Amino acid sequence: MTSAIQTINLSAWYGNKQALTSVSMSLEENKITAIIGPSGCGKSTFIRCLNRMNDLIDGFKTEGEILIYSKDVRYIDPVELRKSVGMVFQKPNPFPKSIYENIAFGPRIHGINSNRLDAIVEESLRKAALWDEVNDRLNDNAMELSGGQQQRLCIARALAVKPKIILFDEPCSALDPLSTSKIEDLMLELKKEYTLVIVTHNMQQAARVSDHTAFFLYGKLIESGETKQIFKKPKEKSTEDYIIGRFG
């Protein structure tokens, strides 16, 4: 098994507040890894380290190593890094532009020739299972789509720059159950081509979609392993308590 992402003793701070403590784990290629844990346990911080999104926050710093396909992210230009590590956010955040322009934005800034854009837009929308719903109104404003459609648009937007890894930061927490199940189906489809990491509050979701699960608590990685094993026979008492809903 190749590991797409590996962290070694990763610690992180917002100012003086430590958010991650010495997290070492590796995430396999073409799998879905779910990161679970109660609010404030560092799971979002963890995935936002992977594409250096937290660099944008004043006073944020890390220690330890993050390797993406064996390359230390500190030595990769963030623009290049984020091209290969895409991200989908908690709340759908389409740009206030047309559906077409939302998808074309990424390829455009990376200098893709504009005569290839039509093909990329179609391909990305198809992969995100949105093409059939929007192909007759690509020039409409993306803000007119429903929440679930907006989130799939954001996935299509991420796909358009051809990443290898896609990070999902609680992608369904603002969506209704039907839209949620569409996104989950989509993730299962996408893992054939991409490595996916999903932060989720929803135990059932983690159990349904992921191959591996990692449980975080107070900024520490408590345990990680095959999803079945974590849910059926967790090694740690706190994992079990969290999964069966004793806290969190």
Partner 1 sequence: MDRLRIQRIRELAIEKALFLCALASILTTLGIILVLIFESISFFEEVPILEFLTGTTWAPTYRPQHFGVLPLINGTLMIAVGAAIIAIPLGIASAVYLSEYADLKVRQIVKPVLEILAGVPTVVYGYFAISFITPLLREFVPEANIFNAASASIVVGIMILPMVSSLSEDAMRAVPRALREGAYALGATRFEVSTKIVAPAALSGILASFILAISRAVGETMAVTLAAGATPKMTLDFFESIQTMTAFIVQVSMGDTPFGSIEYKTIFAVGMVLFVMTFLMNIVSMWIKEKYREVY
Question: Rule CB under 8 A: which residues touch partner 1?
Answer: 51, 53, 56, 58, 78-83, 86-87, 89, 91, 93-97, 105-106, 109-110, 141, 143, 154, 157-158, 161
DSSP 64-125: EEEEETTEEGGGS-HHHHHHHEEEE-SS----SSBHHHHHHHHHHHTT--GGGHHHHHHHHH
Nearest to residue 237, comparing CAs of 227, 222, 220? 222
CA 7 to chain CA mean position, Å: 16
Judged by CB, which is closer to partner 1: 129, or 143?
143
- Please, what is the minimum distance in Å from the beta carbon of residue 96 to partner 1? 4
Judged by CB, which is closer to partner 1: 32, or 158?
158
- Please, what is the minimum distance in Å from the beta carbon of residue 84 to partner 1? 9
- Please, what is the minimum distance in Å from the beta carbon of residue 87 to partner 1? 4
Judged by CB, which is closer to partner 1: 66, or 207?
66
- Please, what is the minimum distance in Å from the beta carbon of residue 70 to partner 1? 20
Q: Are strands 71-72 and 60-68 parallel, antiparallel or unpaired?
A: antiparallel
Instruction: Specify whether the CB–CB gap between 223 and 216 falls below 8 A.
Output: no
Distance, CA of 25 to CA of 5 (rounded, Å): 8
Judged by CB, which is closer to partner 1: 101, or 223?
101
Judged by CB, which is closer to partner 1: 96, or 177?
96
For 221, the token pair is 């990685």
- Please, what is the minimum distance in Å from the beta carbon of residue 82 to partner 1? 4
Distance, CA of 54 to CA of 37 (rounded, Å): 20
